[in-house]
Structure 1
Amino acid sequence: MGERAEGEGRAQDEGGRTARPPGERGRTAISDRVVARIVAKAAEETAGSGGLDRSVLGVGLPGRRAARTDVRVHGQIVTAKVALSVAYPMPVRDVAQRVRDGVRARVEALTGLTVRQVDIDVAELERPGGRTVS
């Protein structure tokens, strides 16, 4: 009595194999680059915000690029900076807050990391017709 057979009390997967508890499975590392892509996508999906004009040496090029992001992951804590455009005449403060909330929710839901801070830099105002004001 008191003896346990190997695997007793552990969950089994579909193949009938014994699954190890989460603490024994190893660890998952999520790079800053992956989190930066999640941040850029979440910012892009927020109504009223958008990417930035493309340019080389100050000369404008056709098309737009994604919002510029700078993300740091320290253990389980994320800090992010996002440079983006806001569609004119949308209220800049409201758009920035929606981006902040969306980024925080998306990163935490997809990675399980805690977002401590999201700084927003409104680098451009996008006028109707695609013209921008820097």
Structure 2
Amino acid sequence: MATTTAPRGQDTGTDHDLPGRTTLADRAVERAAAQAITEIADVGGAGHRVFGDALGGSPEERSAQVSATVDDTTAALRVRLSIAYPASVAGTAREVRNHLVRRLHELTGLVVTRVDITVVTLYLNQPGPRRVR
């Protein structure tokens, strides 16, 4: 929940620095981070099973699972996602981490102090034909 307050009698529509405080809920930061992750190639959502999916849809079609802990000006993130095979897991995780730090600062003004990433599955970027035995 974002709120901005100003003393009574002051116009909040001006460009002056006014006293007040903006508070972002953890859930708002989680959603912003999950959306930012969709901007990165070779990254998909967190599948619930490694081989196949019991819930329907492929892992890359769902969004990544993000949980955030927000303090006044900082945020710490825990991310669960999948990566397209044969992309580099370490390189892609580093790209995700750097992108989240930059984008969340742009979108929210928060400084991201920590991003823990768990890669839950690798998926084929382009599904091939099924083999019949």
Q: Normalising to structure 2: TM-score of the pair?
A: 0.74
Change (3 A) 1:86 1:20: closer
- Deviation of residue 84 (structure 1)? 0.2
Report 1:66-105 matches (<5 A): 66-105=63-102
- Kindly indicate whether the alpha-carbon contact (under 8 Å) linking 2:68 and 2:77 is maintained by their aligned counterparts in 1: yes
- Deviation of residue 52 (structure 1)? 2.6
Task: Provide, for residues 37-69 of structure 1, a one-character-per-residue CA deviation record: whole Å limited to 9, x for no partner.
Answer: 1111111211111113367xxx71221421011
RMSD, matched Cα: 2.4
In the comparison of the two structures, how many residue pairs are matched?
111
Aligned partner of 2:127 in structure 1 is 129
- Deviation of residue 20 (structure 1)? 7.8
- Kindly indicate whether the alpha-carbon contact (under 8 Å) linking 1:54 and 1:62 is maintained by their aligned counterparts in 2: no
Stretches of structure 2 that go unaligned for 5 or more consecutive residues are 1-12, 129-133
Q: Normalising to structure 1: TM-score of the pair?
A: 0.73
Question: C-alpha distance in 2, partners of 1:47/1:92?
Answer: 12
The letter of the residue matching 2:127 is: G
Aligned partner of 1:22 in structure 2 is 17
* CA radius of gyration, larger in: 1
Question: C-alpha distance in 1, partners of 2:96/2:15?
Answer: 39
